[in-house]
């Protein structure tokens, strides 16, 4: 084979479960089938992945914020908007961006229940808004907690549903959350530990710790 012929061959992907290392505590693990749909060819480590996902999310935020300001809560809490938001956040990184989870995971409901329970969570959120149920901050964290418990997507559920809570606040003219006021929620450490503890408390219908963490 000539050098020219060799150059025409697709590059072998080096990003795999071994190179990314362990997933953060409580996170949905990436599987080999997920990695097969990775778009950037240069990604080789967890650090590379974090950078490209961060850049994609940053690019999506202006569009999402504009949608929230112009469309209000009815737009932000729509079923199709949630999937459009996830697609915008990850479309440069994953081919499955904006698609429903198709396999069981360590977090979330059975895939057959995702559509029904996602719609139910969003319908409840609209009812909370229309009927002024709960304090505004509690309303926003309840949106996140309900949706992250369903886990509609293969990955990125926490980031997408936290952003949706912020967009709800934007849609009603309130300041967005700080989500722990610094530190990474996507890496093991004190900030993630406190976040998971607050989520667990919310599972028992005690949303105070999650409100305190989100507003920090």
Q: What is the C-alpha separation between 215 and 154, in angstroms, rounded?
A: 27
- Determine the pLDDT at residue 13: 62
Query: What is the pTM (predicted TM-score) of this model?
Result: 0.90
- Determine the pLDDT at residue 1: 39
Q: Write the pLDDT tens digit of every residue in 6-55.
A: 444 344 567 777 777 677 777 788 888 999 999 999 998 888 999 999 99
- Determine the pLDDT at residue 159: 96
CATH architecture of the domain formed by 13-177:
Orthogonal Bundle (1.10)
- Determine the pLDDT at residue 9: 39
- Determine the pLDDT at residue 184: 80
In this structure, what token pair is assigned to residue 35?
């990695």
Quick one: three-class SS letters along the chain? CCHHHHHCCCCCCCCCHHHHCCCCCCCCCCCHHHHCCECCCCCCCHHHHHHHHHHHHHHHHHHHHHHHHHHHHHHHCCHHHHHHHHHHHHCCCECCCCCCCCCCCCCCCCHHHHHHHHHHHHHHHHHHHHCCCCCHHHHHHHHHHHHHHHCCCCCCHHHHHHHHHHHHHHHCCCCCCCCCCCCCCCCCCHHHHHHHHHHHHHHCCCCHHHHHHHHC
Can you list the residues of the chain whose pLDDT is less than 70? 1-13, 21
Domain residue spans of the chain:
13-177
- Determine the pLDDT at residue 12: 52
């Amino acid at each position: 084979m000539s050098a020219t012929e060799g150059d025409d061959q697709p590059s072998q992907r080096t990003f795999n479960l071994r190179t990314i290392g362990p997933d953060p505590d409580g996170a949905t693990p990436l599987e080999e089938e997920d990695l097969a749909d990775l778009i950037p060819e240069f990604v080789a480590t967890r650090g590379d992945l974090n950078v490209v996902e961060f850049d994609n999310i940053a690019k999506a935020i202006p569009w999402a914020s504009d949608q929230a300001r112009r469309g209000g809560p009815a737009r932000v809490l729509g079923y199709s908007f949630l999937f459009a938001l996830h697609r915008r956040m990850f479309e440069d990184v994953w081919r499955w961006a904006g698609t429903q989870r198709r396999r069981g995971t360590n977090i979330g409901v059975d895939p057959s229940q995702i559509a029904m329970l996602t719609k139910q969570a969003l319908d409840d959120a609209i009812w909370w808004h229309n009927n002024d149920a709960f304090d505004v901050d509690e309303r926003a964290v309840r949106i996140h907690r309900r949706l992250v418990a369903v886990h509609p997507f293969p990955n990125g559920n926490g980031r997408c549903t936290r952003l949706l809570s912020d967009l709800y606040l934007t849609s009603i003219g309130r300041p967005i959350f700080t989500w722990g006021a610094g530190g990474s929620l996507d890496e093991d450490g004190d900030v993630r530990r406190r976040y998971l503890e607050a989520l667990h408390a919310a599972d028992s219908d005690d949303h105070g710790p999650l409100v305190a963490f989100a507003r920090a």
